[in-house]
Amino acid sequence: MTQDSPGCIVTLTPNPSIDRTLVLGDELRRGAVHRISSSGAQAGGKGVNISRACLAAGVATWAVLPADTDDPFAHELTVSGIPSRLVPGGGPVRVNLTITEPDGTTTKLNHAGSVAGEQVLVALAATRHDLADAADWIVLAGSLPAGAPEAWYAALVDDLRSRTRVAVDTSDAPLLAVVEHLDSAPPHVMKPNGHELASLTGHDGDALEADPAAAAAAARSLVDRGVGAVLATLGSHGAVLVTPDGAWHATPAPTEVVSTVGAGDSSLFGYLLGDLRGLAPARRLALAVAYGSAAAGLPGTTIPEPAQVRPDLVHVRDLRLGDVTAGLSG
């Protein structure tokens, strides 16, 4: 998995963050004093994580986000070599804190971030629009900043989908707004996790994650409304992929979970990478799960290198036909 891949993925992270990670040597106990065994920080946010994965895999990328050029966030992007288009005027980039326990349990404390004024939102949309014709995929990722309308992503999908393919990975009110506009502006790919998918269907999140068939049925309801593909990540239960042509479930090889932060972003990148390589849906899903499980085995928000990703160890089954694919290579 060292070959460069064709194509270009442009990411939009309207509410980026500096992700600080604290690794504890024992179980987190409320009200107790803990010693930190290690710590780290890097420029993050869902879209930035995907652009970071692009850089490692040899895929062309642009990361679009609000940040002043003298913000420490912008400096870290430059040091990391991530090509970026910065829109100034959005205020300082927020800092999110992740606490990781020895068993991989992850606790996140996310700051709301700065308020994005109309001028910043217009500039972000315009920058994204300028890059659309050169992009094979545009990824709209993460939460929206304060000041952005809940339907902002939905409006961007409507604007962009005729020019390139659009993937959406968000939650809460912005996700609900995208779903409310599916009849007129369905994304080409949506990547909810099990709990986000459950929020759209009225299921219990834990129960849906543990039942791939139920998750696929819930995802099918989105595909039936025009979404090109739904990649639903199910935590330790792997992921399901539903397209108009079928449904598949994939489980990773046993993984020692170190941190789940960034695993979903890595999964979405793996799927898009598989698409750029022209892989069949089952193989795209295998690559997605391999990227996600590799990320879960790394500390903090570390995005895996291609050499760390093992799609050949992922088991994929066709939910209509049974166990027909296993040990797929990327």
User: Which tens digit of pLDDT belongs to each residue from 124-134?
Assistant: 999 988 999 99
Q: How confident is the model at residue 321 (pLDDT cuts 50, 70, 90)?
A: low
Tell whether the torsion through CA atoms of 247, 55, 112 and 140 is positive or negative: negative
Q: How confident is the model at residue 328 (pLDDT cuts 50, 70, 90)?
A: very low
Number of Cβ within 10 Å of residue 21's Cβ equals: 24
Instruction: Please report the pLDDT score of residue 105 as a whole number.
Output: 86
Weakest-pLDDT range from 40-49, 155-164, 179-188, 285-294: 40-49
β strands within the chain, DSSP E: 8-12, 17-24, 36-44, 60-66, 84-87, 94-100, 106-109, 137-141, 165-169, 189-190, 229-233, 239-243, 246-251, 315-318, 322-326
Indicate the Cα dihedral angle 140, 141, 146, 148, nearest 10°: 10
Ordered structural domains, the chain, with CATH: 8-326 (3.40.1190.20)
Q: What is the rounded distance in angstroms from the CA atom of residue 186 to the CA atom of residue 228?
A: 8
Helix axes 46-57, 263-276, angle to 10 degrees: 50
Instruction: Please report the pLDDT score of residue 259 as a whole number.
Output: 77
Q: Encode pLDDT of 2-45 as tens digits.
A: 345 579 999 999 999 988 889 898 999 999 999 998 888 888 89
- Active-site residue flag, 265: yes
Average the pLDDT over 110-116 and give the result.
84
Percent of the chain clearing pLDDT 70 (strictly above):
95
* Mean pLDDT taken over the chain: 91
Residue type at 19 in one-letter notation: D
Q: Encode pLDDT of 170-225 as tens digits.
A: 999 999 999 999 999 999 999 999 999 999 988 899 999 999 999 999 999 999 99
Q: How confident is the model at residue 294 (pLDDT cuts 50, 70, 90)?
A: very high
Query: By the 8 A CB rule, do 80 and 57 touch?
Result: no
19, 71, 169, 265: the active-site residue = 265
Weakest-pLDDT range from 52-66, 241-255, 295-309: 295-309
Instruction: Please report the pLDDT score of residue 40 as a whole number.
Output: 84
Q: What is the rounded distance in angstroms from the CA atom of residue 88 to the CA atom of residue 24?
A: 36
Instruction: Please report the pLDDT score of residue 170 as a whole number.
Output: 97
